[in-house]
Amino acid sequence: TQLVQVSRTAECKAWMRTKIAELEEELAMRSMKSSMTDLLGLLGSFQFLCGDLSAARLSYERAVSLERKAGGTGAGGSKYAAALARVNRQMEAEESFAAIRPSLNASCQEPLNLKDIERRDGAQLSYREFLSEYACKGVPVVLTGLFEAGMFVNGAWGFDKLREDLGSKLIVPRHRVEDSPDWAHLEDSQQMSLSAFLQQVFMDGCGDYVFDWNLPGNAPELVEELRIPRFFSGDLLQHLPEGSLYREAWPSLFIGPKGSRSGLHVDAFGSNFWMAMLHGQKEWTIFNREDVNHLGPSYQISLDPTFSAETRLAHPQSDCPSRTEALERARGWRSLLSEGEVLFVPAGSPHAVNNVTVTLAISANYIDSSNLERALGELQLIAGEDPRAVSVLEHLKQLGAERGENETEKPLFTQWSDFKRTQSKRSRNDPQEAAAE
């Protein structure tokens, strides 16, 4: 956060412009060689931070072109392809906002275009209807009745069970930082035991938040009590080889004090998301994924943007003298998620969450036929920067030919052991062997 703040100062921008001039001079003295690639990447980074988007795009395009000519992109693609995508997305967002800015109300007090999230009985909703009416259309839905139908083998977990089973586990809670560039405006706090956190979470003024804490790695016996609803049991990440990136990351644990918040964000790598509420109430605000550019996205740091609209969402009465978003133009939904309910959030949908009470929930990100193409596009970019994503990308491409099997009707629940075990037979093979089965 401090580095980002420094980068926005006039002094730092002046320094970066000096570096831009030096890099441009050095590049002008060379012919187009592969050794220029990283210099072009560095130049593009400085230009992006200074707001010179057209120049940054040209620098990244030249870097990507040189990589390809040199044959150095590898299975994961160009390491600068993600940076080029970030610039392109930033330019698209700013052009979109510029087109509507003259028509915006300067007071920033127009009502938001939000409606209630639809509620459906999860025990009665078919998988095919869920897929066609919600997942494929990018529409969130609250599923009721799944706890009563047996989603948890021994009953829903509570704070006492977590304290007894996991109290000695070490966690790193997160806390909100208003102008943080980090995902959801949350940054790490001090490490502590889960039992110590549970002692303070009910106290007034607790600012820490257990956010996305991995359960398969920290509580393997506990997750054996979970049964996966049919809407999420076709997770293609479970077809990956054991130990692959993302495969063992979820479900994860969320414990939030009353009044805490996770800021407006989009979940990574084009993934769908579900959350099951075990205790308390959360207020969810979700925006249509087609309206991302109305929310003032910034892609300077990551493919997963931060949003200037978060300021108005978190502080509705605040002024916006130099606004960079059109929040009131964005279509969306807002509803309470209560104990015993399960929420589905479609891939690419910006969302923010307020903890109305002390809350306890579990969640998971996943890929199935409804978001596979979106996920492949994001993973292609990620793989250029993170070698671990290359295997994920290759396996999911192979699985794409089989995605039709995920659209058949499914039993209401899949046991956790079956959810993991039935997928792993294929995952022990390489993609070519898997495709031949």
Q: Give the SS3 label for residue 265.
A: strand
- 171-176 mean pLDDT: 93
Write down the residue that tokens 């926005």 correspond to.
8
- 287-300 mean pLDDT: 97
The b/e string for 206-219 (b: 16+ C-beta within 10 A; e otherwise) is bebbbbbbebbebb
- Tell whether the model's pLDDT for residue 42 goes beyond 60: yes
Answer whether 208's CB lies under 8 Å from 256's CB: no
Q: What span, in angstroms and rounded, lies between the C-alpha atoms of 19 and 7?
A: 13
Answer whether 27's CB lies under 8 Å from 7's CB: no
Which band of pLDDT confidence, cut at 50, 70 and 90, is reported for residue 434? Answer: very low
Q: How do residues 314-354 score in pLDDT, each as one tens digit?
A: 988 777 657 789 999 999 999 999 999 999 999 999 999 99
Residue count of the chain, please give it. 437
- 430-437 mean pLDDT: 39
- 195-214 mean pLDDT: 91
Q: What pLDDT sits at residue 77?
A: 65
End-to-end CA distance of the chain: 49
Exposed/middle/buried for residue 378 (C-beta within 10 Å: 0-12, 13-18, 19+) = buried
- 155-184 mean pLDDT: 91
Q: What span, in angstroms and rounded, lies between the C-alpha atoms of 314 and 256?
A: 16
- Tell whether the model's pLDDT for residue 241 goes beyond 50: yes
- Tell whether the model's pLDDT for residue 428 goes beyond 60: no
* Summary mean pLDDT of the chain: 90
Q: What pLDDT sits at residue 4?
A: 78
Q: What distances in angstroms separate CA 304 from CA 112, 298, 381, one per listed residue?
A: 23, 9, 12
- 111-119 mean pLDDT: 95
Q: What pLDDT sits at residue 109?
A: 74
Q: 80-89, 94-103, 317-326, 388-397: which has the minimum mean pLDDT?
A: 317-326
325 backbone dihedrals φ, ψ, rounded to 5°: -145, 165
Q: What span, in angstroms and rounded, lies between the C-alpha atoms of 364 and 273?
A: 6
Q: Give the SS3 label for residue 226.
A: strand
> Which strand ranges, in their side-by-side order, compose the sheet holding 113-115?
113-115, 331-338, 281-287, 351-355, 261-265
Q: Kindly tell me the sign of the dihedral angle through the C-alpha atoms of 138, 140, 146, 147.
A: positive
Q: What span, in angstroms and rounded, lies between the C-alpha atoms of 45 and 99?
A: 26
Q: Where exactly are the structural domains of the chain?
A: 1-101, 114-383
Q: What pLDDT sits at residue 181?
A: 78
Q: How do residues 71-86 score in pLDDT, each as one tens digit?
A: 765 555 688 999 999 9
35 backbone dihedrals φ, ψ, rounded to 5°: -70, -15
Which DSSP category does 269 fall into? G
Answer whether 278's CB lies under 8 Å from 361's CB: yes
Q: Give the SS3 label for residue 111.
A: coil
Q: What pLDDT sits at residue 402?
A: 66
Assign domain 114-383 to its CATH architecture. Sandwich (2.60)
Compute how many other C-beta atoms are within 10 angstroms of the C-beta atom of residue 371.
Answer: 22
Q: What distances in angstroms separate CA 378 from CA 296, 354, 371, one per listed residue?
A: 20, 28, 11
Q: How do residues 259-273 score in pLDDT, each as one tens digit?
A: 999 999 999 999 999
- 38-48 mean pLDDT: 96
